[in-house]
Amino acid sequence: MGRSFACAGRGLWRALRAERNLRIHLAATALVFSLAPFYPFDRGDWALLFLACGLVWGAELLNTAVERLCDRVCPDRDRAIGWVKDAAAGGVLACAVFAAGAGVCLFADPAGLRALGAAIATPLGAGAALALLAALGLFVLCGGKRKDDKTHF
């Protein structure tokens, strides 16, 4: 069982390093869970956040696996392979759109927005918000695999 977790963790790590879209999902997840404490979420709301984020992550990882396998099996352009890859990407898009809809429903709460605004209005809160956004942006843009990295994923 430990070996299975190690393999899964290695796959997640490699995908994070190689796939910019997965890093974007990580940044969005970090942002969601950074904002969530300012809202009066109950257990069901938290469960929805975890499920929505997990669904998008799972879809993106499966899409990555499908694309890599397709590229390995058929390195040349192929209409059927293109359809498979597009359908897998469409699955990620569908999950992301519905997760964003759930997020809008949860985060459009006036009390939470007021609490968040009050926290960001302080100098420390504004600095923390700016630092978080800058760090997430740098991770998304620069967090990828180095050219000299010999990891095969």
| Pairwise CA distance, residues 26 & 32, whole Å | 10
Question: Within a domain: residue 147?
Answer: no
Question: Within a domain: residue 40?
Answer: yes
Question: Within a domain: residue 153?
Answer: no
Question: Within a domain: residue 149?
Answer: no
pLDDT at 2: 87
Query: Whose CA is closest to 150, among 50, 3, 18, 2?
Result: 18
| Pairwise CA distance, residues 86 & 64, whole Å | 12
The secondary structure of residue 37, as a DSSP letter, is: G
Q: Report how many domains make up the chain.
A: 1
Question: Within a domain: residue 63?
Answer: yes
pLDDT at 135: 76
Question: Within a domain: residue 22?
Answer: yes
CATH of residue 17? 1.10.287.3610
Percent of the chain residues topping a pLDDT of 70: 92
Question: Within a domain: residue 152?
Answer: no
Chain CA centroid to CA 135, Å:
15
Query: Whose CA is closest to 56, among 91, 30, 88, 80?
Result: 91
Q: Is the pLDDT of residue 35 over 90?
A: no
Question: Within a domain: residue 72?
Answer: yes
Q: Is the pLDDT of residue 136 over 80?
A: no
Q: What is the mean pLDDT of residues 7-35?
A: 91
Q: Which sign, positive or negative, has the C-alpha torsion 87, 91, 94, 96?
A: negative
pTM to 2 decimals?
Answer: 0.79
Q: Is the pLDDT of residue 53 over 70?
A: yes
| Domain extent for 89 | 2-142
